[in-house]
Structure 1
């Protein structure tokens, strides 16, 4: 199972553990948790991992005590007065270890990676270069016939050195983007691979098109964007390249986007967890330009003109709710 496949089960398991340890759990909730665990072996595996982490957090010993102790107190204290918010925060604290596990795994096993909040430039053996966005991880496989970069997560921007005898390809589990020119960005997240071409052309192919099609490819040209879910591929369309690659300038540009989408993007640039309830924030939309190198400022800007409250339990856990 891939990191992307396992993440939803880990989040659900963290929420179940938080509910069971809230001090206000009902028998119906206990039974529902047991049903969830029995429904799928992946649920049980995620639950065991979450429970193990919970027991390691519970003693709160050593150097973690000064920081984690007050957090647990703040989260657990008001649970009966505002159970929904408290459970969200508690699940966030527990989820911190679960969320970091896949990132640690990528960092340990990938050829190159960028830390959370970091932007890293890598020069490849042929003179091509990559810019890795926050949390991105890549492997490099240069053989005699092809220059292949495997994007495992996040965003990468490629500037390709000419070599007509060896194609340059950025590949993911969902598809590939073969350079017919020199500059393009590839993003991999939420089971979606997106490509933005800033110079010349790129051939983008889906990994596993359904039968009877053997290949599903399109050519995207400078100023265009396309995307694939691994099976189908979207027709290239024109985009404002400066906005589509604003992360290169450490900016997030939102144009009437759901607040939850903006928060999910900001979360990729924070070392700690950013937790919120999708249903509670439904209907709130955002337009603006926000700094990615100072996400605290970005959250403060959002709170200035939206009816939301930003609560920092520590630098490791921030909870967003409606005012």
Structure 2
């Protein structure tokens, strides 16, 4: 079991993330700064988790009244030369939000200046979870997923901080809209069953039943995606995708692929296991098809090796896959 991070470690990570965020906003990173940022990001899983939260916090900070920011700035004294007063205000606000979060025992940013109740759900690598919401709606969380559920008198809102969820909405007696928010925009459910897969660079939507309206964050683009259709979007644009029913079978612990390059297949499989898998460059062109279990990674890799005539060697810290030269 992973050792939990201390409160001090978490707060330091939030402050470091805030500094990086504001530096990136103020100027383009040079080569050295980019390398330092990437090194910080991969140094701890906590850093990646915090960075995703900071990204989702951005639009809330941008909506802060200027008088609130100004008041905060007046009470601050610069601590570092490479960040300005606005950066310090952001760090201060971020730290304050984190402190409120700690008091409320929530591992997520509460909505700024709001004390409406929220529920936090998250899964570790290899875990899945089904959650029944207050209105009867159901949410399934895939491996390494984190959501924040906010229900009040006006809305039913899910903030997806990381990972993948499948949702079955339920008719609401208060007729509140149901939406899923990522840093790329909002998904408004129109009575439906749908899947949302979020990463830092894109959000992918697959609609099984009903329809979902995509509202892109940085533009006025909107599009309704109907049943048996899919789309991908970022902060600016919406891109049509092919709907694959097999993509929704992760709830049955299955990874279904068709002619998927082996490196991409291993990347998808690695969502469910911490084992480091190394591929020999000579087999990167292998295309994988079929249905594979995500519960037993070693068994799945054995099937892949047998099917595509590959060799597997295992050490204490990794699995290496290469061409089987004996065949």
Say yes or no: TM over 0.5.
yes
Give 1:231 deviation, angstroms.
1.2
When the two chains are superposed, the root-mean-square deviation of aligned CA atoms in Å is 3.0
* Cross-structure match for 2:216: 206
Matches of 2:216 and 2:122, distance apart in 1: 24
Matches of 2:223 and 2:211, distance apart in 1: 10
Q: Alpha-carbon deviations, 1:104-125, whole Å to 9, x = none?
A: 9989824111121111011222
The question of whether the paired residues in 2 share the 8 Å contact of 1:169 and 1:176 is answered with yes
Q: Secondary structure at the match of 1:40?
A: helix
Matches of 2:51 and 2:37, distance apart in 1: 17
* Cross-structure match for 1:67: none
Q: Secondary structure at the match of 2:225?
A: strand
* Cross-structure match for 1:162: 171
* Cross-structure match for 1:317: 318
Q: Are 1:143 and 2:89 matched, yes or no?
A: no
Residue 289 of structure 1: which of 254, 269, 291 is its match?
A: 291
Structure 2 residue runs of 5 or longer lacking an equivalent are: 1-12, 18-28, 54-105, 109-119
* Cross-structure match for 1:22: none
Residue 303 of structure 2: which of 301, 304, 309 is its match?
A: 301
* Cross-structure match for 2:184: 174
Matches of 1:294 and 1:190, distance apart in 2: 27
- CA 1:113–1:43: 2 relative to 1, 3 Å: same
Following superposition of structure 1 onto structure 2, how do residues 115-264 of structure 1 map, counting pairs within 5 Å?
115-163=124-172, 165-189=175-199, 191-209=201-219, 215-235=220-240, 237=242, 239-241=243-245, 243-264=246-267
The question of whether the paired residues in 2 share the 8 Å contact of 1:38 and 1:44 is answered with no
Give 1:246 deviation, angstroms.
1.4
Q: Secondary structure at the match of 2:127?
A: coil
- CA 1:42–1:235: 2 relative to 1, 3 Å: closer
Q: Alpha-carbon deviations, 1:24-80, whole Å to 9, x = none?
A: xxxxxxxxxxxxx98232422554x59xxxxxxxxxxxxxxxxxxxxxxxxxxxxxx
Higher relative contact order (CA 8 A, sep 6+): 1
- CA 1:260–1:234: 2 relative to 1, 3 Å: same
Matches of 1:207 and 1:280, distance apart in 2: 41
Give 1:99 deviation, angstroms.
4.9
Q: Secondary structure at the match of 1:262?
A: helix
The question of whether the paired residues in 2 share the 8 Å contact of 1:205 and 1:233 is answered with no
* Cross-structure match for 1:33: none
Give 1:263 deviation, angstroms.
0.4
Residue 270 of structure 1: which of 258, 270, 273 is its match?
A: 273
Q: TM-score normalized by structure 1? A: 0.65
Matches of 2:177 and 2:48, distance apart in 1: 31
Matches of 1:38 and 1:184, distance apart in 2: 41
Q: Secondary structure at the match of 1:193?
A: strand
Matches of 1:182 and 1:228, distance apart in 2: 19
The question of whether the paired residues in 2 share the 8 Å contact of 1:106 and 1:137 is answered with no
Q: Secondary structure at the match of 1:197?
A: strand
* Cross-structure match for 1:87: none
Matches of 2:199 and 2:312, distance apart in 1: 25
Q: Secondary structure at the match of 1:290?
A: strand
Moved more, 268-277 or 161-170: 268-277
Give 1:307 deviation, angstroms.
4.3
